[in-house]
Structure 1
């Protein structure tokens, strides 16, 4: 049994999703939506798709559709997802799901009313090695009492060159709900929230681009007895590893996505042990989304409301945290004023 789906968005992340969905074996691409027929056809023909839409109303009314994967500019997520959910279609919504907590709560409410599922596409917390990390920290208590952590996703974006040249790419635009924190910062924030839950408070010190959004910054998530440093950027590069510190040692992870190393340092024996299993890789520019495609299909097909609820809680907590952090830094979207 497979899930018949359509896509909204024709960028590289949608390519990655389609390829991952093909590998997962539980998804069938049915249609492609784009603002122009030419763009929809050019994108869809690569995957043998022959049904194209330039109208969201017509897409939503397609009776053959069971789900829609949405990877449009951030500010469009809310209205597009709302329209699809109201048509009783499941939605896989790229991160960040919405610009505000209010918008996200509304989407989850509509999904429940219509009897369909809304899942935010956080790929990294579905990776096998992330799930292993979570087990080591939460179940096996490998580190004992947690003393702190440092999570990083800081990668210089080629589009930041456009910003410096006086342009305003969508991802660096307030009107499109852009900025570093919501684009790449959500990876380390979600990394922490899925491991430790909702922090008590959070702080954020960004640097602001000429376009008005954050080009990067450093934050702290405040938990009972420890803090988690968040370093994110699209305007500078960091190759620092991620670490979790505890009374029984340190866990060092190569990154917040595509985890390939997971090392435990024992302070008593002074020995380091590699704990990571194998991990999936794909050729650039695409990224590994196969594990999330497999899990999301399982949730939909098995109607696993427990797993759905856990992901919903993570999504809601992440948007609470990031919304507060960016507002502290003066990054305010049009949606914040609604």
Structure 2
């Protein structure tokens, strides 16, 4: 399994380290500015850096393209990679709109190509344990998630500088950047909510800097808080009539898990690799080597449901991207 990358941010280094630990070779990197990729290429012994995306995609020895560019570029770059016959791993959020996602899904399915969303939550060992222990809580009543992380780019926003992560033209915002993990976490456990609403704190540029999504299910309510303009202890808690499951970590990392039933506490935490992308990359490699398209389609069905809910939440809250006008 040979890969190439698009982007040079910190998440790309995480991906390259995950590839190294899973015996996957990265043969090439694409960056608009060659110097931006040099340090990573040297550290991980990547042989080629391209500033021409088509030239990189034309290589026959590359199986997968990993996309970690600004959100608004995910669709066009993924579509181009698929057209070159490449399998794709795309960072979250998969695309800016559901229509873009459906187009990628249709093309990948019709051309028998693998298409994965890089959403680490779903592959963490402790997330699997949550599913295994849910029934012990009895009828569920409340679910709480808080993923808040003050962004250094928020300082720039306060100074009047709009960076990609807070720019509607680049499909940014708190819900897109970190709130999406909460959606994957809750929807992965309970499926599509019967009703949903997002209540954002909006900046004058038209993007959310923080907010709370409320997802309604039969018998219980899930509240999903996310923030890039403030910080908090990151937790998730699932409360049932018999007890609760507490995870004191980001919903991306799922790094701890405690079960409390009728006052009796049980530590469930299983160790996870400190490289957050390790577990998902391991699973993607397994699926690719087994040519398990059925498993891939199951994951895509989940990603589509999250994308459907994500788009409804942001549009109902008055958050519109540049791509929405096209």
Could you tell me which residue of structure 1 aligns to residue 17 of structure 2? Answer: 19
Distance 1:78 1:240, change over 3 A: closer
Question: How high is the TM-score relative to the length of structure 2?
Answer: 0.96
Report 1:178-189 matches (<5 A): 178-189=172-183
Could you tell me which residue of structure 2 aligns to residue 257 of structure 1? Answer: 252
2:266 to 273, 278, 282: 273
Could you tell me which residue of structure 1 aligns to residue 59 of structure 2? Answer: 62
Could you tell me which residue of structure 2 aligns to residue 303 of structure 1? Answer: 291
How far is the alpha carbon of 1:72 from its aligned partner?
Answer: 0.2
1:234 to 217, 228, 231: 228
CA contact (8 A) 2:147 2:235 kept: no
Say yes or no: does 1:175 pair with 2:169: yes
How far is the alpha carbon of 1:240 from its aligned partner?
Answer: 4.7
Could you tell me which residue of structure 2 aligns to residue 115 of structure 1? Answer: 112
Deviations 1:156-202 (A, max 9, x none): 11111110011011000000000000100011110001100111221
Report 1:150-229 matches (<5 A): 150-229=144-223
Distance 1:136 1:310, change over 3 A: farther
Question: How high is the TM-score relative to the length of structure 1?
Answer: 0.93
Moved over 6 A (4+): none
Report 1:307-326 matches (<5 A): 307-326=295-314
How far is the alpha carbon of 1:89 from its aligned partner?
Answer: 0.5
How far is the alpha carbon of 1:218 from its aligned partner?
Answer: 0.8
Q: How many positions carry a matched residue from both structures?
A: 325
How far is the alpha carbon of 1:254 from its aligned partner?
Answer: 1.0
CA contact (8 A) 1:86 1:114 kept: no
Structure 1 vs Structure 2 CA RMSD: 1.3
How far is the alpha carbon of 1:321 from its aligned partner?
Answer: 1.1
Q: Give ranges in structure 1 of 5+ residues lacking alignment.
A: 282-286
How far is the alpha carbon of 1:248 from its aligned partner?
Answer: 2.0
1:148 to 142, 152, 156: 142
Q: Give ranges in structure 2 of 5+ residues lacking alignment.
A: none
